[in-house]
Amino acid sequence: MEILGRVFNVFLAIAVGSGGVIALFIALNYAVERLPYKWRSRLLPWVFVGPALLVLGLILVIPTLITIFYSFFGPATETFVGLKNYIFAFTNNDMQVALINNVLWIVLVTGVSVSVGLILAVLMDRVSYEPIAKSVIFTPMAISFVGASVIWRFVYAYRPEGDNQIGLLNAIVTSLGFDPVGWLVERVNFLGANVLGTTALLAIMIWLQTGFCMVLLSAAVKGIPKDMIEAARIDGANEFQIFWRITIPTIRSTMTVVATTIIVLVLKLFDIVWVMTNGNFGTEVVASRMIKEMFKFNNYGRGSAIATILLIAVVPIIIYNIHRFRKQEENQ
Amino acid sequence: MGKKVFLATGSILGLSLLLGACTPTAEESTGERAEPTRTVTLLSPMTGEQKQQLERVLAPFTEATGIEVAYEGANAFATVLPVRVESGDPPDVAMFPQPGLLQRFAQAGELVPLDTFMSRTQLEKSYPRQWLELGSVNDRAYGLWYSASVKSLVWYNPQEFQRQGYSIPQTWSEMMQLSEQIVDDGKIPWCLGIDSGETTGWVGTDWIEDIMLRTAGARVYDQWVNHEIPFTHSAVKNAFEEFGEIARNSEYVVGGVVGVLSTPYGDSVNGLFRQPPRCYLHRQGSFIESFFPQDVTLGEDADVFPLPPMSEGEDVPLLVAGDVFAMFNDTPEARALMQYLASPKPHEAWARLGGYLSPHRQVSLDTYPNEVTRRQAELLMNAETIRFDGSDLMPPSVGTGTFWSGVVNYLNGKELDRVLQNIEDSWPEES
């Protein structure tokens, strides 16, 4: 009985919720229609965009402003500390390591997943079993970051020499007669950051995102007019020349969109690091640092400052993207 | 202040988005019963098997009083609880794994002091002074201690010790000599694994706290925990180095430093029971027995001795941890639950289930199911010096932040002076 009641309530909530929104639009639309013609055309767009803007303002703009405001305050957001949180963010040793790692993540994850995705997209355009091959590569995309991290923990798992290796990589390494390697732990240092460990972590992200890049780029590759390639062939261009001179320039805008999506994703990434190493062994990233300051150390000021820095880091990418969109619109 | 406004806007928004989703289920479920079900909500970090044990221990309470315990186990307890309190929705009662967080809430006036409904004499009859103080702020008691864990224990396999002719060391140097002897026999003395996912580092800080108590004494230990001496102090450096003598010595630990850093703490103890053993010594708290392989018999294959003092005849200080209950909402149901928890009944019930020690004075040693547990309870009762896990008492940015990662970095090869300076720098200026 109770379960039936709950199910009923859920349906009621959905009906009232979405029905209410529809009723709101109809009512506002009706009200605007009554107005004189001159007013109508001016107000009508706001009737439809207004509620969305209002909700967006409430859940996005106001919290953003509050976060920026808090970033100038102490741990309990009570005392004003000026730029101290920002000075901390750039001078603290752990934060510097995190910043260096983030650069590594952006360059490698974006570079590798976009280029591998592109190569796969071009190659798969020519095989008969394309759908199957594509879905295999796309599948990891359906796994959450935390789920993927758990899977990869078993890939990188280390057991002392003489124990049964339960990790895939170490099972291979030891069967070839080498000593097991602590993939995440053994440091290859670069300015305090752990290059081997960080690479092992960002490989997970590449594994997850390459399929996404491939699918989008593949759609773009298929959009290249066949006669253009035909013409190039007749002019004597080889496959590499076609790839560099025709494929890449034609799909450049798609590549930019895909690359910016990945960069934004990388900037907010924390779950892989959280699950795999918790930022130890020099593998910290900025976003996991933010979560720690905020929810583990209850230092809302520092957490907000790091969040603001991440926000500012994304702004140029967004501006560039909007700029590109505008240009595209003009061309059409 | 500001946070509350922010959370309030958030919750109003959440509500308005859900529109009619609020349901009157509470009234529905009581059905025909005349009296509505009386409940007390309880939030605790215990999940899985521990949660089931807790529920078994609380079952007699519900039977006797008719008060339901609405239990919620949160893995991310330290994250969830402050958010719940900030948003004005605290549980009636919470079980804290660290007194530090409890003290913070008590200082903020969020908790109900126990003396409003319990007499001081009742509390003093039930709990040793040191434990009561750990749950008090400004001389008012807030915390009811539930379970205790003795950390200064070295686990070993008595059968293997006998076979090899090893004897239990009485001093720190005897323990190091034993380690050396085991190496000379072509074996590895210590099993040590500190991997603990999101909480990696605590195994190492426990070691250092234990060593601090032995090398610097309880007074310096207290100064260190309260930040009256800096982390860069020579006593702290010395403790790190003593720990490094064992943990960074690739002949002393299974798998070398990489093995220490990447072995989960629950797995590492298994090396004691392998044939042939991977190691002979394992320093870990009383709770580790729940990680033993099924076929291990306590007392036969596994036994403990206290981590020895520096020199002979010295008192053996104990490093402890524990779980403590405190009350957020002053309801009759919450009071009843706290009264029940203060009585020896639930403590004894859990003690019989095993894998548990109680700081409660009225729990008789005979209640414990086996010799090994009884010995630990005896150690706990008789110890002259008891100190709570220091990292749990320090501010979180140090205790569960830089101190944890600092130990990991030290083992991972970072220079000790820089590690200590980094921890010192992270100590918050305002408390």
pLDDT at B431: 45
Q: What is the ipTM of this complex?
A: 0.81
Q: Which of A84, A163, A170 to mutate to test the interface with B (most CBs of B within 10 A)?
A: A163
Of the listed ranges A9-23, A265-279, B5-19, B299-313, the least confidently predicted one is B5-19
Q: What's the per-residue H, E or C state across A248-310?
A: HHHCHHHHHHHHHHHHHHHHCCCHHHHHHCCCCCCCCCHHHHHHHHHHHCCCHHHHHHHHHHH
pLDDT tier for residue B19 given thresholds of 50, 70 and 90: very low
pLDDT at A170: 92
What's the CA dihedral at B263, B267, B268, B274 to 10 degrees?
Answer: -130
- Judged against a pLDDT cut of 60, whether residue B11 lies above it is answered with no
User: Looking up tokens 């970051």, which residue turns up?
Assistant: A145
Q: What is the pLDDT of residues B216-253, one digit of tens each?
A: 999 999 999 999 999 999 999 999 999 999 999 999 99
Nearest CA in chain A to B395: A297
Note whether A298 contacts B396, CB cutoff 8 Å.
yes
Half-sphere exposure of A29 (CA within 13 A, CB side): 8
pLDDT at B35: 56
As a whole number of angstroms, the distance between CA B181 and CA B161 comes to: 12
pLDDT at B1: 42
Question: Mean pLDDT in runs of 10 for chain A (332 residues)?
Answer: 85 90 87 84 83 90 94 87 92 91 94 95 89 90 92 91 88 90 84 87 94 93 90 90 91 91 92 90 92 87 94 91 85 72
Outline where chain A has alpha helix (H): 2-34, 37-56, 62-70, 84-91, 93-105, 111-124, 130-138, 145-156, 168-175, 195-222, 226-234, 239-242, 248-250, 252-267, 271-276, 286-291, 300-331
Q: Which helix (H) or strand (E) holds B38?
A: strand B38-44
Which residues in A lie closer than 8 A to residue B256 (C-beta atoms)?
Answer: 160
Note whether B401 contacts A275, CB cutoff 8 Å.
no
3-class DSSP assignment, residue B251: coil
- Judged against a pLDDT cut of 90, whether residue B50 lies above it is answered with no
pLDDT tier for residue B343 given thresholds of 50, 70 and 90: very high
Q: Which helix (H) or strand (E) holds B82?
A: helix B77-86
Nearest CA-CA distance, residue A182 and chain B, Å = 6
Identify which of A213, A202, A208 has the alpha carbon closest to the alpha carbon of residue A116.
Answer: A213
Identify which of B25, B49, B23 has the alpha carbon closest to the alpha carbon of residue B36.
Answer: B25
- Judged against a pLDDT cut of 70, whether residue B16 lies above it is answered with no
Q: Mark which residues 79-108 of A lie under 8 Å from B by CB.
A: 79, 92-94
User: What is this structure's pTM?
Assistant: 0.82
User: Looking up tokens 């759609």, which residue turns up?
Assistant: A219
Identify which of B422, B380, B387, B379 has the alpha carbon closest to the alpha carbon of residue B404.
Answer: B422
pLDDT at B36: 61
As a whole number of angstroms, the distance between CA B351 and CA B329 comes to: 28
Nearest CA-CA distance, residue B44 and chain A, Å = 17
Note whether A280 contacts B79, CB cutoff 8 Å.
no
Q: State the amino acid at position B68 in one-letter form.
A: E
Q: What is the pLDDT of residues B51-104, one digit of tens each?
A: 888 999 999 999 999 999 999 998 888 888 988 998 899 999 999 988 888 988
pLDDT at B430: 56
Quote the tokens at residue B271: 């090396």
pLDDT tier for residue B30 given thresholds of 50, 70 and 90: very low
* B319 or A160, which is more confident: B319
What percent of chain B clears pLDDT 70, i.e. is strictly above it? 91
As a whole number of angstroms, the distance between CA B318 and CA B64 comes to: 37
Nearest CA-CA distance, residue B392 and chain A, Å = 12
Note whether B405 contacts A299, CB cutoff 8 Å.
no
- Across chain B, mean pLDDT equals 87
- Judged against a pLDDT cut of 90, whether residue B208 lies above it is answered with yes
As a whole number of angstroms, the distance between CA B194 and CA B266 comes to: 9
Note whether A161 contacts B263, CB cutoff 8 Å.
no
Chains A and B form CB pairs within 8 A to the count of 118
Calculate the CA B278 to chain-centre distance: 27
Nearest CA in chain B to A88: B426
CA angle B316, B319, B321 (to 5 degrees): 150
Note whether B258 contacts A182, CB cutoff 8 Å.
yes
Which residues in A lie closer than 8 A to residue B425 (C-beta atoms)?
Answer: 92
Backbone angles phi, psi at B230, to 5 degrees: -75, 160
What count of residues does chain B have?
431
Which residues in B lie closer than 8 A to residue A78 (C-beta atoms)?
Answer: 1
DSSP B273: G
Task: Give the contacts of B284 (CB within 8 A, at least 6 positions apart).
Answer: B151, B153, B155, B203, B265, B269
pLDDT at A78: 81
